Chains A and B, each alone.
Chain A
């Protein structure tokens, strides 16, 4: 059950992010995230984005898990990447070249 104290803190946070100059809401943070990750946020927006990370525990945690997801998915295929065949099976090469001639 959410305590009165927690609810009050949440309300305060909502007011701060929605009203204070130089702040963005978590929803706006979400919209900026992909451009931030791609290194495409202009300097001003990047500062606002990074300030939000400092003040918002939820977005900080979210972004850490989001980045970890990218790392883990990139490595999930390492076994198959390592198994990239040095060459295409010979019968397949011949079948492709054969099909072209026919």
Chain B
């Protein structure tokens, strides 16, 4: 982040703390679009995402005095949003998820990996030129247990770094890495037919 942005952000936070109406509006208009997009991707439901955005800002207005500036304002807002989203997901329990243990890599008694040869591995361009691929991949990500899916979503799709993801979820970076790795490994198994070019999943 540039110095200029830092100054802007500092001024905005000060104005929010002072209760200036224009500052609240600037916060909503400035940070709202990206937050709304993230909420839509996590919740997969436009109406729930809008509710979540509203709750996020109300919480942020309420807690702005506690914002210590250790992370960027946008990251702080995302942390609130992610936690609000997770509460919503828990309330709206969705379809049954896969058991993560069933999707972990397999090893033989010598600690050697069991992995069928990959004579063909489809490229992203090949896969994504078909319209239905995105929906298929999204539905496979949805099958991951929530605590794993959220880490994969924040790291590989929203592209926050692992430290930030850990801070957002209030877990250690080590725990975040374990979950991320297991989520990717499980998703690899779920996507195997697609990646091997074996037609619809």
- Residues on A lying within 8 angstroms of B by beta carbon are 10-11, 13-15, 17-18, 25-30, 33-35, 38, 56-59, 61-62, 64-66, 68-81, 83-89, 92-93, 95-97, 99-100
Q: Which residue of B lies closest to A88 (CB)?
A: B32
User: In the complex, A17→B109 CA distance in Å?
Assistant: 13
Q: Which B residues contact A (CB, under 8 angstroms)?
A: 21, 24-25, 28-29, 32-34, 36-37, 40-41, 50, 53-54, 57-58, 61, 105, 107-108, 110-115, 117-118, 121-124, 127-128, 133-134, 137-138, 141, 152, 156-157, 159, 162, 177-178, 180-181, 184-185, 187-188, 191-192, 194-195
Q: A75 to chain B: which residues have CB within 8 Å?
A: 124, 128, 134
The answer to whether A84 and B37 touch (CB under 8 A), given A14-B111, A78-B134, is yes
What does DSSP make chain A's interface, helix, strand, loop or mixed? helix
* B interface: dominant SS: helix
B36 A96 Cβ-Cβ under 8 A: no
Do A17 and B112 contact each other (CB < 8 Å), given the known contacts A68-B121, A97-B25? yes
Q: State the Cβ distance, B188 to closest chain A Cβ, in Å.
A: 4
Number of A-B contacts (CB under 8 A): 156
Would you call A99 and B54 a contact (CB within 8 A)? Answer: yes
Contact residue among A28, A30, A34, A72 (Cβ-Cβ distance under 8 Å from B195):
A72
Whether the pair A77, B138 counts as a contact (CB closer than 8 A) is: yes
